[in-house]
Amino acid sequence: MIWNEARECMSRDELAHLQSARLVKTVDRVYHNVEYYRKKMQQAGLEPGDIKGIEDIDKLPYTTKNDLRDTYPFGLFAAPQSEIVRIHASSGTTGKATVVGYTRKDLEVWSECVARAMTMAGVTRNDIIQVAYGYGLFTGGLGAHDGAQKLGATVVPMSTGNTKKLTTMMKDFGATAIACTPSYLLHIAEVLEEEGSIDEIKLKYAICGAEPWTENMRKSIEEKLHIKAFDIYGLSEIMGPGVACDCEYHKGLHVYEDHFLPEIIDPETLKPVAEGETGELVFTTITKEGIPLIRYRTKDLTSISYDKCECGRTLARISRFKGRSDDMLIIRGVNVFPSQVEAALLEMSGTTPHYMMIVDRVNNLDTLEIQVEVEERFFSDEIRELESLTKKIGHVIQTAIGLSAKIKLVEPKSLERSMGKAVHVIDKRKLV
Ligand code: DLL
């Protein structure tokens, strides 16, 4: 029942009422329990009573990753350590780790959100689910695990690291669902293909996230494995997986707005953008106790729609992510997202979504080489075939990103596979 709460749905007015009450409570909590927030609010001339509902959200200051780093490790916690029952952290490539703490109630809300997302994908207690996100400080493994367990499914805590074991158990146990990054699932599909055992698996659903992936990649995974694949989004600062997930219509990810209040802002002016326009996603957690965050700037770029979905849910939908503002490359002045390359490659036949972008600067000019894995047959064909494919890929990519790139075709499985978040860019300009 609770997991379908979202489908049975409150009206938008009822939801706004609930969100307002929860926001007021959260603001009160951080003002009284977190010195950092109290000071920030005082600097903005705000008292908790000034926030009467969600219509006042724009009075509140933003929170960024730097705020988490400045208060490392526990400075933004709003509950005493005795009430914190779990810690997760994301390492990030620069600076200190960002640390998040959960109370028992936070873990309940988290597992409920993941259970809702999995229910939306079709998973039930009759399923056997392999959780192949990394377990540990990363929120993927334990987050998906707790949600699937709450749902009553049979959880197999695979983690990452041993793909052969995973495929063997997938077959032996008759696993019907899997939760992992989309790039890892693609690799799992390759291993199953190598083993010639795709027809032996009973997989029906995949719940994939933790990295940007395109709609074409989702469809390609569905075709390869004869399954239904769903996009799950989340970030450790806000909770972990299960902040939003797509339904069977795949027209955006439903945000669990009864726990996370979304806004989309222009990252330059910090003003809200109109519904449907792309901007930076900002979240205020409205039920968290351990580390509630006010207007947290995710750096993820998306747009939002409040239209009722064909599935009947009234929860707002955010569009599939183009990437993070951090992932955007500026090459010869042109803004490029790796996901644009992935989408272009998946439009073509003979190519695979395995690619690596190598950006460099030679004589003060940015250069871009894209290594693309192509099907085996091209390497046995005449050299002319290879040249013509190189040209074709070059053209398609130039149209997609508005920039010419040197295309290097590489043999199948020659680019490194990832079991966690995939790496598609080597920016040598940053290395000097
Ligand atoms: O990646 C939590 C997660 C685990 C989500 C498993 C889904 C599944 P972090 O390591 O803190 O947490 O990274 C969060 O990953 O800000 C996005 O940039 C990116 N991200 C997560 N899910 C998606 C998605 C987890 N479905 C960061 N599509 C976020 C695109 C995603 N990007």
- Across 71-83, average pLDDT: 97
Q: List the one residue out of 368, 431, 362 whose CA is nearest residue 394.
A: 368
Percentage helix, strand, coil for the chain under 3-state DSSP, each rounded to 5: 40, 25, 35
| Half-sphere exposure in the Cβ direction for 205 (13 Å, CA) | 24
Q: List the one residue out of 352, 351, 365, 250 whose CA is nearest residue 309.
A: 250
In this prediction, residue 8 has a pLDDT band, given cuts at 50, 70 and 90, of: low
Whole-angstrom Cα distance, residue 186 to residue 58?
41
Q: For the purposes of burial, counting CB atoms within 10 Å of the CB of 268, is it exposed (0-12), middle (13-18) or buried (19 or more)?
A: exposed
Whole-angstrom Cα distance, residue 171 to residue 192?
10
Smallest CA separation from ligand 1 atom 30, residue:
212
Q: List the one residue out of 165, 52, 170, 33 whose CA is nearest residue 103.
A: 33
Residue 380 has pLDDT above 80, yes or no: no
Q: Which of 235, 285, 293, 299 is the best mutation target for the ligand 1 pocket, counting ligand atoms within 8 Å of the beta carbon and taking the most?
A: 235
Q: What is the DSSP letter of 125?
A: T
Peptide bond into 353 cis (omega under 30): no
pLDDT single digits (tens) 9-38: 788 999 999 999 999 999 999 999 999 999
Q: For the purposes of burial, counting CB atoms within 10 Å of the CB of 109, is it exposed (0-12), middle (13-18) or buried (19 or more)?
A: buried
Six token digits for residue 61: 């200051």
Across 109-118, 250-259, 361-370, least confident range? 361-370
Spatial contact of 411 and 376, defined as CB atoms under 8 Å apart: yes
pTM: 0.92
Spatial contact of 259 and 113, defined as CB atoms under 8 Å apart: yes
Residue 3 has pLDDT above 50, yes or no: no
Residue 271 has pLDDT above 60, yes or no: yes
Q: For the purposes of burial, counting CB atoms within 10 Å of the CB of 79, is it exposed (0-12), middle (13-18) or buried (19 or more)?
A: buried
Residue 2 has pLDDT above 50, yes or no: no
Q: List the one residue out of 15, 240, 34 whose CA is nearest residue 146.
A: 240
CA of 49 to the centre of ligand 1 (A): 34
Shortest-distance atom of ligand 1 to CA 244: 26
Q: Annotate 11-48 with DSSP letters as a single string.
A: -HHHHHHHHHHHHHHHHHHHHHH-HHHHHHHHHTT--G
The sign one gets for the Cα dihedral 306, 234, 123, 166 is positive
CA of 322 to the centre of ligand 1 (A): 12
For the CA atoms of 63, 69, 73, 79, the dihedral, rounded to the nearest 10 degrees, stands at -10
CA of 181 to the centre of ligand 1 (A): 9
Whole-angstrom Cα distance, residue 23 to residue 344?
42
In this prediction, residue 145 has a pLDDT band, given cuts at 50, 70 and 90, of: very high
pLDDT reported for residue 79: 98
Contact residues of ligand 1, CB 6 A cut-off: 90, 133, 138-140, 209-212, 231-236, 240-241, 298, 300, 321, 324
Residue 431 has pLDDT above 90, yes or no: no
pLDDT reported for residue 432: 55
